[in-house]
Amino acid sequence: MEKILKIKLLAYALITMLSFPYLILPENAGVSVPIFFIIQLVCLYFILPRKKPLLVFSPIFILSLNSFIYGNSMWRISNFIVIILLYAVMILIICNKFNFNDNKLLTKILNLVFSPFAHFNIPFKWCGEINRENTTILKRILIALLISAPVLIFMVILLSSADSIFSNMVRSAFESFFDLFDQFFGNVIFKSVYGIFMGFYGFGLVVFAYKDKLPKPKPRPVYEYTYPDGSTLVTTEVPEPKKDPDKLIINIFLSMILLLYTVFVVIQFAYLFTGADLPYGLTYTEYARKGFFELLFLTGINIVIILVCTNLTKNLKANITKGLLSYLCAVTVILLVSSYYRMMLYNTDDGLTRLRFLVFGFLIFEGLGLIFTFYYIIKPRFSIISVYAAIALSYYLILNLVPIDGIVAKSQMDRGFNGVNYVKTLSSDAAGQILRLYEHEEYRDDAKSFIFYKLEWYERIPNRWQRYNLSVERLKNYVEE
């Protein structure tokens, strides 16, 4: 690997080490988060061998905007995880190892997420290779410092004993140093270690794009046997011929569960959707409000069954199996509709909450996934896992762009004052709806306490430009108005 490229990669690692703790790690970091990823984009543009894969930075930048636009911090950790996965996708695309129809794509992405740890030692090797003369000088300086340290300590002790003023100055300097050390030690060390780690991790990801230029490890034999006479036999494992799955077993399995589901679906249409008179003394409210999570769990099980059975029979002529799987997919849609309807009843009675908002969105996108599942059953020639991942990423991006707390607060406030206590637990994004309480004198104190508490919470730490946040600015404007 040429010297210039090594210097660029090492510079990228250093920039990441310095910018990550300064722009990402400050408490309540806001506008600095998208600035960090803009810096990353510029660096990668000059480093990576191909530029088109940088389009993956579009969803990465969208996720980074959440910290700048909204005051709700619930996505920050999960955003970090998703961004790491998107970085891995970008590197796979650069290496021409990203195939949307690859059933092992998710495994490749996860493997790449952990692969940088194997490259942590490379920067140290390169630093010595880029300029051996400077490396030698650095070692010599380090040796000098190690020798000088004990000598300096000994001299300070002697001089302090000889001069009381010098002694007080040394004591005062050490006390100031240790006060500063006690106050900032944990925070500075944590940020420094975190920044160094992210620098090495980013380097390890990016250097994977040049993996072909790195030294290749020697392949190891699969099997080695030493005979008593000292001779050695090296062999490879010969896989057994693959057996086709038994379609009969699969069809019987599907038929049994579909028989059960058919009875259940008939009941859903007879009582839940039509509102017919219920037996056993049940009331409609009791009946309709139960079973949401059980149904949601079943939809997940059904999808797993469909994917496993489709994958087992995709290379076989299995029209009956495809018909049964299509029926199971249709049943899953009905279960999904039933879950959605039950959640609507929850929402009508108790209003929208964060969890219910997320569930509504999940149900909608799961329904979208089932549409592709129908097609996958008929023509299993693409990676359905990749489709699910794309749908999940779209759902996640939308969640980051939607002001969830504002929507939830509006739903609760539209119902009256029963949801005031819940709205007060939300982030500053709910402030616009809280202001509606000013119209009612008995709730004005609640509105004031919410707004001033949120402002006090944001202002408990020094105001720095990295913490500039649009949600907080709207909160300040509400106070001024």
> Which of 360, 377, 394 represents a domain boundary (last residue)?
377
Region of 223 on the Ramachandran plot (φ > 0 left; ψ -120 to 50 alpha; else beta): beta
Pair 6, 135 in one domain: yes
Total domains in the fold of the chain: 3
Pair 136, 163 in one domain: yes
Q: What is the mean pLDDT of each run of 10 residues along the chain (481 residues)?
A: 78 89 85 91 88 88 89 85 89 84 83 83 70 59 67 64 61 67 60 84 85 58 57 56 69 83 77 64 60 77 87 81 89 86 78 86 90 88 88 91 89 80 86 80 80 83 84 80 66
Report the pLDDT value the prediction gives residue 329, as an integer from 0 to 100.
92
Pair 216, 298 in one domain: no
Pair 218, 117 in one domain: yes
Pair 413, 363 in one domain: no
Pair 446, 357 in one domain: no
Pair 216, 100 in one domain: yes
User: CB–CB of 149/143 below 8 Å?
Assistant: no
Other C-beta atoms closer than 10 Å to the C-beta of 352 total 21
Tokens of 46: 């000059």
Supply φ then ψ for residue 231, to 5 degrees.
-75, 155
> Which of 238, 264, 282 represents a domain boundary (last residue)?
238
363 in a structural domain: yes
Report the pLDDT value the prediction gives residue 15, as an integer from 0 to 100.
92
User: CB–CB of 469/73 below 8 Å?
Assistant: no
For residue 332, give its domain range. 247-309+316-345+352-377
Tokens of 44: 């990668």
388 in a structural domain: no
Pair 473, 363 in one domain: no
DSSP string, 300-358: HHHHHHHHHHHHHHTTS--HHHHHHHHHHHHHHHHHHHHHHHHHHHHHHHH---HHHHH
Residue among 354, 450, 446 nearest 408 (CA): 354
